[in-house]
């Protein structure tokens, strides 16, 4: 009991080290963490593909022209604001996929066998150093302790980001911003816009000369076509904005907040007993 009271801090570090080694070499966190990041990355690619498909369909619709007397009207231009939003959304999706790609690279780095061996070596040396002292070794031992803590932090921070991301999405974000449903809505908008465009082109090709002449002076026809495009794109801006919100939160804001919290946590640990020598 006296031994425990005397060396409780060293025994605590030893216990943490054993747990860290078990988790590191058991890959308990890593496998699920990789799956979660891969899932988010795949999801981002699918949504990005849907956005680019919608962009292509709207671009085609913007080129759909109807002839008025002495004037040609591109009725698809009514979709121009939505197309601008889709293009901005595509850039955000690229940033999101970049963020997830970096997380995958970092996860592969910190779960690599060589990194685990380096971590194990540092933890073994640190714990031996706790009980075996050398003359005037306080400063270098403190520095070695901090380096080891940083390695432990890096080893588990990245896999944990995947867990935090998934928990936050499933329990707090998904009820209001369901990525799968929003993506289906975007696909639905794409199909509706495409349908109106193809019907318009087909109708123009099949019309007789007399019908075309009559149509030129029929303002209701143009109003109807514009209304069809507006109806096809109804609520699309809302869907896109919702996806922007969820992907910025999920792939940019949340990882940054998570890293910031862990950074200040580790920094706070380093500040505790900064002027005290490890005994």
Tell me how far apart the alpha carbons of residues 175 and 221 are, in angstroms, rounded to a whole number: 41
Query: What are the pLDDT digits (tens) for 70-83?
Result: 445 555 566 778 88
For residue 225, count other CB atoms closer than 10 A to its CB: 20
Query: What are the pLDDT digits (tens) for 90-134?
Result: 899 999 999 889 888 988 898 888 999 999 999 999 888 877 777
Angle of helix 179-206 relative to helix 236-248, nearest 10 degrees, comes to 150
Name the residue with higher pLDDT: 121 or 139.
121
DSSP secondary structure string, 44-79? Answer: HHHHHHHHHHHHHHHHHHHT-EEEETTEEEEGGGGG
- Predicted TM-score (pTM) of the model is 0.76
For the chain, the average pLDDT equals 78
pLDDT range class, residue 209, cuts 50, 70, 90: very low
Q: Are 109 and 53 in contact (CB under 8 A)?
A: no
Name the residue with higher pLDDT: 33 or 277.
33
Query: What are the pLDDT digits (tens) for 165-197?
Result: 888 888 888 888 899 999 998 888 888 888 877
pLDDT of residue 278: 45
Give the side-chain half-sphere CA count within 13 A for 82: 30
Q: Are 60 and 191 in contact (CB under 8 A)?
A: no
C-alpha dist (Å) from residue 203 to 63, 64, 76, 127, 198 = 15, 12, 15, 80, 8
Query: What are the pLDDT digits (tens) for 217-239?
Result: 455 555 666 677 777 677 788 88
Name the residue with higher pLDDT: 221 or 264.
264
pLDDT of residue 144: 84
DSSP secondary structure string, 178-197? Answer: -HHHHHHHHHHHHHHHHHHH
């Amino acid at each position: 009991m006296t031994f425990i009271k005397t060396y409780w801090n060293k025994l605590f570090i030893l216990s943490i080290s054993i747990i860290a080694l078990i988790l590191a070499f058991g890959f308990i966190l890593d496998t699920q963490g990789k799956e979660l990041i891969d899932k988010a990355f795949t999801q981002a690619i699918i949504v990005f593909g849907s956005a680019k498909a919608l962009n292509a369909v709207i671009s085609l619709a913007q080129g759909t022209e109807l002839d008025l007397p002495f004037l040609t009207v591109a009725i698809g231009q009514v979709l121009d604001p939505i197309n601008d939003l889709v293009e901005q959304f595509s850039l955000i999706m690229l940033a999101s996929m970049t963020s997830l790609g970096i997380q995958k690279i970092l996860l592969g780095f910190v779960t690599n066998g060589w990194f685990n061996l380096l971590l194990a070596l540092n933890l073994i040396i640190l714990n031996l150093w706790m009980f075996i002292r050398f003359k005037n070794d306080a400063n270098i031992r403190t520095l070695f302790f901090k380096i080891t803590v940083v390695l432990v932090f890096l080893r588990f921070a990245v896999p944990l980001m995947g867990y935090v991301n998934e928990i936050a999405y499933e329990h707090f974000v998904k009820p209001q911003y369901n990525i799968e449903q929003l993506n289906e809505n975007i696909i639905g908008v794409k199909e509706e816009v495409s349908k109106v465009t193809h019907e318009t082109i087909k109708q123009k090709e099949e019309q007789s000369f007399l019908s075309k002449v009559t149509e030129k002076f029929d303002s209701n026809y143009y109003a109807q076509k514009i209304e069809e495009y507006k109806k096809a794109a109804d609520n699309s801006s809302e869907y896109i904005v919702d996806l922007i919100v969820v992907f910025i939160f999920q792939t940019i804001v949340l990882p940054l907040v998570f890293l910031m919290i862990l950074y200040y946590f580790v920094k706070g640990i380093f500040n505790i007993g900064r002027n005290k020598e490890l005994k």
